[in-house]
Amino acid sequence: MNQHRQDIDKEPLPVTGAWREGDDPGERHFLDITGGRPFPLEGGGLLEKAVLAYETWGRLNATASNAVLVCHALTGDSHAAGEGHPGHSGPGWWRELIGPGAALDTDRYFVVCANVLGGCQGSSGPASVEPVTGRPYGSRFPQVSIRDNVRAQARLASHLGITRWMAVVGGSMGGMQALEWAVTFPDRVGGLIAMATTASASAQQIAWSAAGRAAIQADARWRGGDYYDAPAGEGPHEGLIAARMVGMIHYRSDEEFNRRFGRASVERLDRFTLDHRFDVERYLRYQGEKLVRRFDANSYLILNKAMDLHDVGRRRGGNRRALSRISGPLLSVSVSSDFLYPRYQQMEIVDAVAESGCPVEHIDITSDNGHDGFLTETAQVAPGVTDFLNRLEKDSEIT
């Protein structure tokens, strides 16, 4: 970790970690989903121009029946698989699950992942240039929702010639998108893999999210959201770091922190000062500083709020009725030590979908990695995903 940290410390901090026009596109493709007509948003307002940055792996077959959509979590992006590349912050975030011979086998499936609207890695978000003003949106970027993102991704699907995904897959905020996909467009989703997620954000999830937002908004360098013109290094980094620290604690678990850090100390404890750091503090700060280099504080606010607004039952007569629309089979995954998206919330989804007569499987991951277990415990997830996709593939050949 020290070497990483030293490397990171060498580079000056940008105002935002967002990918911006003119930066190396890396593996990204871009699609303006508006086609010249403004994109209306669920919660009011429009996007004059709405670009999705997306990546694909594998080949779409002749019948377009082998397409799998991967939806990313809060700080994820389109770079779900593959190696690192100068245009990306690192190698694919789900590369253990996606690739040749992997569970999402790119020799067999055409895998697609798009950065969300409101994000900051190539899709339209607060750091993007607002067409009307020619300047970054900042505080003027409208509040998008998970449903907006699903509608945007549906346009991408049409553009790619995919009328029906073999499967839509995601965890956490990605799981919210997967659920919304299957409820909004039941005919366009063959099967659904939803991990460590919820049908609607709970009060405690909203609370965590609000605490993180409060930390960012308490940072004077946030400037009400309009900080992009500030000198380099003068972004709301300290606020975003504090928010990320809050996040990292509930992405992980008590057990893991005890095992990895315990009470080990960076500085010797022969003199007590406020600046003294325990190892766990250095770890959290390191994670925060890493995020500042690849993320945007406004996107953090907008996407956290989108997750708070997530409620699959909104204007659909409640969660149960909404989930009964789902027509394809569901593979559900939860993590034993996840206290951010506790198992009971995942089981509410399982129960509602099962009640409506859909085939449902559930995998309990045993892990002390907490919420992040859906990302880290590939060995426990991959066999179930492989089997599930094999069956979907067979079904799609039969029909």
How many Å apart are CA 387 and CA 142, to the nearest integer?
Answer: 40
Query: How many residues in the shown chain lie near a second copy by CB under 8 A?
Result: 65
Asked whether position 288 contacts a second copy by CB under 8 A, the answer is yes
∠ CA 353-355-361 to the nearest 5 degrees? Answer: 50
Closest alpha carbon to 140 in 376, 266, 298, 286: 298
Residue environment code for 323-342, b if the CB has 16+ CB neighbours within 10 A, otherwise e: bbbbbbbbbbbbbbbbebbb
How many Å apart are CA 71 and CA 148, to the nearest integer?
Answer: 13
Closer CB to a second copy, 47 or 381, in the complex: 47
Asked whether position 242 contacts a second copy by CB under 8 A, the answer is yes
Question: Candidates 66-74, 101-109, 238-246, 325-333 — which segment interacts with a second copy by CB under 8 A?
Answer: 238-246
Instruction: Tell me the one-letter amino acid at 399.
Output: T
How many Å apart are CA 211 and CA 335, to the nearest integer?
Answer: 24
Whether 339 contacts 310, CB under 8 Å? no
Whether 26 contacts 86, CB under 8 Å? yes
Asked whether position 234 contacts a second copy by CB under 8 A, the answer is no
User: Which of 26, 136, 138, 239: binder of a second copy (CB under 8 A)?
Assistant: 239
Minimum Å gap between C-beta 218 and a second copy is 4
Residue 97 has which token pair?
């699950």
For the four alpha carbons of 285, 290, 292 and 296, in that order, the dihedral sign comes to negative
| Partner residues linked to 53 by β-bridges | 30
Compose the 308-347 pattern: x for residues touching a second copy by CB under 8 A, - for all others.
xx-x--x------------------------x--x-----
Whether 298 contacts 189, CB under 8 Å? no
Question: Candidates 13-21, 77-85, 87-95, 276-284 — which segment interacts with a second copy by CB under 8 A?
Answer: 276-284
Asked whether position 208 contacts a second copy by CB under 8 A, the answer is yes
Asked whether position 211 contacts a second copy by CB under 8 A, the answer is yes
Backbone angles phi, psi at 28, to 5 degrees: -70, 145
Closer CB to a second copy, 89 or 200, in the complex: 200
Minimum Å gap between C-beta 352 and a second copy is 16
| Partner residues linked to 18 by β-bridges | none
Question: Candidates 41-49, 149-157, 168-176, 388-396 — which segment interacts with a second copy by CB under 8 A?
Answer: 41-49
Minimum Å gap between C-beta 225 and a second copy is 8
Which of the residues 125 through 164 are near a second copy (CB under 8 A)?
142-145
Minimum Å gap between C-beta 272 and a second copy is 2
Instruction: Tell me the one-letter amino acid at 393.
Output: E
Q: Which residues does 63 contact at the CB level (< 8 Å), separation at least 6?
A: none
Closer CB to a second copy, 250 or 391, in the complex: 250
Which of the residues 243 through 272 are near a second copy (CB under 8 A)?
245-246, 248-249, 253-254, 257-258, 260-263, 269-272
Catalytically active residues are: 172, 338, 371
Binding stretches for a second copy (CB under 8 A): 41-44, 142-145, 200-204, 206-208, 210-211, 213-215, 217-221, 238-239, 241-242, 245-246, 248-249, 253-254, 257-258, 260-263, 269-274, 276, 278-281, 284-285, 288, 301-302, 305, 308-309, 311, 314, 339, 342
